[in-house]
Amino acid sequence: MKMTKIKYMALAVVGTFMMSSCDLDEKFYSEVTPDNFFTSPESVYAVLAKPFDQWRYYHNEKNNWVLEELTTDEMACPARAGDFYNGGEYLRYHYHTWNTADRFIVNNFNQLNYVIARSLEAREDLAGVNYQSVGLTEEEKADHLNQINTLIAYCYMRGLNSYGGLPIYTSSQDKPKARNSRKENFDFIESVLIDAIPKLKPRASLSEAQNGYITRGTGAMLLAQLYLNADVFIGENRYSDAEKLLQDIYEGVYGKYEIDPSWSGPHDFDNDRSPEAMWYVPSQTTKKEFDGLYRFMFIADAKTYFDCNVLANPYNGYQLAPSYEKEGVELVSKLGRTYSKFHDLDLRKKPYVYNGNKQYEGMFCVGLQKNPHTGKVAKGTKLQNGKEMVLVDYINRTGNKSDMMEGDENSGIRLVKMPVSNSADKDILFDADFPVIRFTEVVYNLAECKFRRGDKKGAAELINEVRKRNFANGIDPDPVTEANLNIYRLADEYMIEFLGEGHRRTDLIRFGLFTTESWWDHTPTDDTKKVFCIPLEAIQGNPLLQQNPGY
């Protein structure tokens, strides 16, 4: 085993927090070694937790989220008279003119490699443990090792998606390498997942909590996504392989899942137990909170609107891409216009309001920011200082033009995908987990496969299975049909269902729309922008890395 004494000391602390029932014998720190660390199930779980904790950090730091959302038609982060200009970085993401020093590109690259490194270390340490001697089984050992393998495959798939591939490391002792080819990355991911999936535990029931670890269904879904995006990744059509896997997941072959009957179920305060929960980033109030999107999405006086005085003031940055050029003048692009794509009868389109006891309605901060229970109105603090905040669906501060430099303090509808409680229920404030994969994505990906092979009727039926929960009494006023389903309607359906969940860029690239279409304040770019540049600091640290074409 390659862990140092210092590392085991840290893991002992982690294990104590992970397992409240853990009763570790007191030891002098100098006596904690690899040989005496693995003495209980808790000590094993402490090592298993390390790469997953790094994975959680990868998502909570929102680097991947920014690259997947703010480069697309559905979200934006305009400059607000000085705020969020940040040297033009958010403009560069929007216009696809990013560079090798832009922080989210750099941090995303680094975080992926950190998760891989942690995973390799954990795998090597757990591989040498006699599980039976600490009260665990060989089946549990196989599950743990293959959860780590699947996490490694996930990171390499993110690397293939974002950067066109990474160097493939199989040991924590490997020296720096050149990047492997796209095909080598693809084949490596595929082989790891095929080997791991049957060794992972399936979800046993529809209410079994999904707490950030990996089950068999998640492994199968990752492989399906690899095949679904194979045409983008390596120029090979693997849609039939994707469809076979997706159909099996849909039918319960890889574990218990089904569409949540409520639109809010996959996102609410107990969403880890939703019937469609597959792989969620765990969050718990005052412990490990997933709060990055809260901090950057809402207005500074959001605590007045949410009636939650324990909240810190958010930064007022991210918003939905606008539907209007200015008041009364609607934009005309096929993509984007996010809020307007929700039907007026869609239950999600209501203003967000928390009604107590974990119950809430609506999914947006829109219009006058007045809490209906307290009657208090949120006020502006900068450009709108002291004024009642009225959030509008356009970006046009001066009234002369609508672009990324024209943001006002009240510009933009805000997404409340993860609910916010009030002060009375502050103990659950950040209890909603962040979905990385949920069963509805299986349904939509399966519909997409049917659409691609010409079965529009079958595709529409699957999408409508989900859509009906968004309307009162399940009556959908605008269902998908064989006649109205085309690539733009499909893109819209993905947008309104998975808004803010961090994979819009991936979907648009797969649909052939990311570099070819216009949307608000954005014109088509070129295909080199389907991947990001390799960070300059990474190349300086490892000169074997070669830059992507076009950078």
Alpha-carbon gap, residue 544 to 549, rounded angstroms: 16
In a domain, 362, yes or no: yes
Q: Please report, to the nearest 10 degrees, the dihedral formed by the alpha carbons of residues 256, 261, 262, 268 taken in order.
A: -20
Q: Is the pLDDT of residue 32 over 80?
A: no
Can you give the pLDDT at residue 291? 81
Q: What is the pLDDT of residue 34?
A: 57
Rounded (5°) CA angle 369-371-372: 125
Query: For residue 90, which amino acid is it?
Result: Y
What mean pLDDT value characterizes the chain? 94
Tell me, what DSSP letter sits at residue 238? -
pLDDT in tens, 260-315: 999 999 999 999 999 999 999 999 998 888 887 888 999 999 999 999 999 888 99
Indicate the residue type of 117: A
Q: Is residue 363 part of a domain?
A: yes
Burial class (CB in 10 A: 0-12, 13-18, 19+), 536: middle
Please name the residue that has the structure tokens 């904790």: 53
- The pLDDT, as a whole number, for residue 193 is 99
In a domain, 403, yes or no: yes
Q: Do residues 152 and 192 lie in contact, with contact meaning Cβ atoms separated by under 8 Å?
A: yes
Paired tokens of 417: 């995908």
Per-residue DSSP letters for 152-179? HHHHHHHHHHHHS------STTPPP-PP
User: pLDDT at position 108, please?
Assistant: 98
Cα torsion 158, 159, 163, 164: sign = negative
CA 372 – CA 149 distance, rounded (Å): 49
What is the rounded average pLDDT of the residues 356-372? 98
- Picking from 201, 210, 358, the residue whose alpha carbon sits closest to that of residue 283 is 210
In a domain, 393, yes or no: yes
DSSP code, position 377: B
Tokens of 373: 């229970």
Q: In whole angstroms, what is the distance from residue 530 CA to residue 528 CA?
A: 5
- Average pLDDT rounded to a whole number, residues 353-365: 98
Q: What are the pLDDT digits (tens) for 464-479?
A: 999 999 999 999 999 9
For the CA atoms of the chain, what is the radius of gyration?
Answer: 23
Cβ burial, residue 457 (10 Å; 0-12/13-18/19+):
middle
Strand partners of residue 398: none
Q: What tens digit of pLDDT does each residue of 369-423 get?
A: 999 999 999 999 999 999 999 999 999 999 999 999 999 999 999 999 999 999 9
**Of the candidates 93, 65, 63, which has an alpha carbon nearest to the alpha carbon of residue 521?**
93
pLDDT digits (tens, 9 = 90+) for 118-176: 999 999 999 999 999 999 999 999 999 999 999 999 999 999 999 999 999 999 999 99
The rounded distance, in Å, linking the Cα atoms of 124 and 377 is 55
Q: Number of structural domains, the chain?
A: 1
The whole-number pLDDT of residue 293 equals 82
Task: Answer whether residue 365 is part of any domain.
Answer: yes
In a domain, 197, yes or no: no
Residue 366 lies in a domain: yes
Of residues 146, 137, 138, 142, the one with CA closest to residue 119: 146
Kindly give, in sequence order, each residue whose CB lies less than 8 Å from that of residue 362, ignoring residues fewer than 6 positions away: 347, 348, 349, 350, 351, 352, 353, 416
* Full domain range(s) for residue 349: 289-423
* The pLDDT of residue 20: 32
What per-residue confidence (pLDDT) applies to 29? 34
Q: What is the pLDDT of residue 35?
A: 64
* Any domain includes 415: yes
Residue 431 pLDDT greater than 50, yes or no: yes
